[in-house]
Every structure is written in structure tokens, then in C-alpha cells.
Amino acid sequence: MQDPKEIAHLIYLLDDPDEQIFRQVEQRIHSFGPDAIPYLEEASLEEGEDLRRQRLDQIINQLKQQELLEELKSWRASEEQDLLDALVILNRIEEPDVMRADMDRILDKIKLDAWLELNYDLTSYEQIKILNYILFDVHKFRGNTTDYHHIDNSLIHKVLTEKTGNPVSISIVYALIAQRLNIPVYGVNLPQHFVLGYKSSEGIELLKRFNDPSTVKSNQKGDILFYINPFSEGLVLSYESLKSFLSQLKIDPKPEYFNIASNEEIIKRVLRNMMFSYEKAKQSNKTNLASLMLDLLNQAKDDNLLDHP
């Protein structure tokens, strides 16, 4: 545990006009890591709009970004790679105080409403019809067509509370509800438009946690029976209709485009959307953070992206 007296002394030195001294002080504060944030925030509240306050806020922001990068790195290294855990990390860029439990409560309420309507003797199409009814008629989820690129459309807590989002986020909510009900619905990373696939359970063991990476490995048996477009209120699509969609966009319909996406691939897609939203809003610091997160996921797992703040 760091010494609060040393941190107070370092904060006092932050307005030193000598740039070299400031860099040494900054480096020392960074060495304490995120544990120093509460002390820095308390000091920031007591400062005016001077050089020390500016430098304090800068360091606080850097440490918070570093903390999120470390959390995402730990998530990537985890065996489970729980999708919602990663989405909560990304959500904290905008809402640092919102916790996973807040999202779980909302998801569990929707799950319960669907469970009361479901009968597991139903066909796959009948199950999807009920999910569509609960999500789009009862809970009024909708794709955001009026402000498509707003950052809120990529933030899981905003999507769950405002009930609107982009194709990726609406599909994620749909899949999270389906998987909690033991219905094998997964993300499909189609170019230009994210959709879902209903996977046949024939030849695969349905897991207690559907978003376990082993479920979506390429050597798993079981075909996708049909596709679902939650952005169009759960429209059911065939493989041929998706191929036709890509052909209209002059995109070669490669077989891998129609496969189940891993949770890591889904998070990468969310980050690319976030980068675009932040760039459009001219929020350079957050654009940079989203870019660093994407770089982290794209790197080989034995590389270290986090050597420097």
C-alpha cells in the first residue's frame, strides 16, 4: 500500500515549472497504479483551475484508462471470456460507477418475462417468435435509426436502459437473453451488418454457460438452422438471403462470414464502432483508449501492450 503522505508530497510538486521534475513526479505517481486514484481525486476537488489541477486531472484520466486496459487484458486471458464482463469494462469508459449487477438485474427481468411464455417443447422458430414478442413488443427494444452512430448505441447499460442501440448491441442483448434461457443463439460477424444464428444442438453438448469459448470453436459439430436480425425486430433470415445481401453490397460471401463469432470477435466489433463514434464526436482521448483496447485484443497473447501509461 502506498504512503498517503508521499502522494500528498508528489501532488504538491505537480505544478513545478521544470518539465523534467514534473515527468519524474508523474512517473512516480503512475507507479502506484489505480490505488492512487482516490487520493488524486480528493486533491483535485480542492484545487482551482491552475496547472496543478490540470496535471492532476490528466494523471487521473491516464490511470483510469490504464485500469480499464488491465481489466480487458485479464478478461482476454481468462478461460471463460464472459461476454457481459467485457461489455461492462467498455461501458465504464462512459459510466465508471455502473456495475455488472446493474445489467444482470435488467437482463434477469427480461429473461423471467420470456421464461413465463416459453415451453421447451416449442420448435426453434416458435422460441424465436416468443423472444421477439418479449423483447420488441413487451420491452420495446428498437434499433436506433435516427442517431445511428451515437456512442450510447455501443454501451450495454445505455442500451438496456434506453432500449435502443445499433445492430451489434441489440443483437448482444438478444443473445444474452436467449442464452440465459438455454436457447442456442449466438452472434454472427457478418460484414456491414451484425446478426445472430440459431445453432442446431445436434452433435454438441449444450453448456451451462453458452458463451464459453469451447462452444463456438470451428471443430464443434452442429449447423446454424437460420439467422435472426434483431435490428429489424427479430426478422428470421436464411443463409441464401444473407448471401444475397452481401452480393448486393458487392462483398464476396466467404464461408467464414456466416459462422458463429467468438466473444473476443464480438468485443472487437463493438470497439470498432466505439472508435468511429468517438472520432465523429471529436473525443480524441476516448478514441485513443478504444484504439488501445482494440490493439490489445489484436496482439499475440504473450505480448505486453501495457508497459507504459
Q: Which of 57-61, 90-94, 180-184 has the lowest mean pLDDT?
A: 57-61
Cell 468485443 belongs to 267
Angle at alpha carbon of residue 164, lines to 163 and 165, rounded to 5°: 135
Question: Which of 166, 164, 152, 171 shows the shortest CA–CA distance to 83?
Answer: 171
Q: 3-state DSSP call for residue 224?
A: strand
Work out the pLDDT band at 309, boundaries 50, 70, 90. very low
Q: What is the arithmetic mean of pLDDT over 175-188?
A: 94
Residue 48 has pLDDT above 90, yes or no: no
pLDDT of residue 216: 47
pLDDT of residue 70: 94
Q: Where are the alpha helices (DSSP H) in 98-234?
A: 100-115, 124-132, 156-162, 167-180
pLDDT of residue 287: 97
> 5 or 264: whose pLDDT is higher?
264
Work out the pLDDT band at 219, boundaries 50, 70, 90. very low
Quote the CA–CA distance of 141 and 122 in Å, as a whole number.
24
Q: Are 96 and 64 in contact (CB under 8 A)?
A: yes
Q: 3-state DSSP call for residue 185?
A: strand
Q: What is the pLDDT of residues 228-267, one digit of tens each?
A: 999 999 999 999 999 999 999 999 988 889 999 999 999 9
Q: Which residues contact 162 (CB under 8 A, 6 or more apart)?
A: 152
Q: Which of 63-67, 71-75, 274-278 has the lowest mean pLDDT?
A: 63-67
Q: Which residues contact 160 (CB under 8 A, 6 or more apart)?
A: 103, 106, 107, 173
pTM: predicted TM-score of the whole model, two decimal places: 0.85
H or E element, residue 196? strand 195-199
pLDDT of residue 173: 98
Q: 3-state DSSP call for residue 197?
A: strand
Taking all residues of the chain, what is their mean pLDDT, rounded to a whole number? 87
pLDDT of residue 270: 98
